[in-house]
């Protein structure tokens, strides 16, 4: 079972491929959980907490700056894929702005206990 935090274009593309491959998928969207494009994919829709509880594997294709707004506790001990990028217009990420770290080094700080 795959949980996808987000329901944008990348989330819907990955979700659609996973459903076509026979996987059970749940997507979340903080603004409109019942987003119409999501239902066309053939997956379940829920909150971030629902997705975290549902998925054995999690994918979080949302802006890195928005990831910290989601609860970390439900993601503990979950395997997660990282299709993340930083978008400077959404606010600074000091570690990335100084070119000290890649997103893969920042995620464990934002979501302690998850397996990236």
Domain ranges in the chain are 2-110
pLDDT at 38: 74
Q: What is the enclosing helix (H) or strand (E) of 46?
A: strand 44-46
Q: What is the enclosing helix (H) or strand (E) of 25?
A: strand 25-28
**Beta carbons within 10 angstroms of residue 31's beta carbon:** 6
Q: Which residue has the tokens 């979340």?
A: 28
**CATH superfamily ID and name for 2-110:** NAD(P)-binding Rossmann-like Domain (3.40.50.720)
| 51 contact partners, CB below 8 Å, separation of at least 6 | 3, 4, 5, 26, 27, 28, 58
Q: Write out the chain's pLDDT in tens, 116 residues.
A: 999 988 888 889 999 999 999 999 999 876 655 655 677 788 998 888 888 889 888 888 877 666 666 655 566 777 777 776 667 777 777 766 666 666 667 667 766 676 66
Q: What predicted TM-score, i.e. pTM, was given to this entire model? A: 0.74
């Amino acid at each position: 079972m795959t949980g996808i935090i987000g329901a944008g274009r990348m989330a819907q593309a990955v979700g659609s491929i996973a459903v076509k491959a026979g996987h059970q998928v749940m997507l979340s969207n903080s603004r409109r959980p019942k987003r119409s494009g999501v239902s066309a994919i053939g997956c379940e829709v829920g909150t971030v907490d629902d997705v975290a509880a549902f998925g054995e594997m999690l994918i979080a294709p949302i802006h890195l700056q928005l990831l910290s707004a989601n609860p970390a506790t439900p993601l503990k001990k979950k395997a997660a894929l990282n299709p993340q990028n930083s978008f400077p217009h959404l606010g600074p990420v000091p570690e990335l702005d100084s070119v000290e770290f890649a997103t893969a080094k920042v995620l464990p700080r934002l979501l302690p206990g998850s397996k990236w």
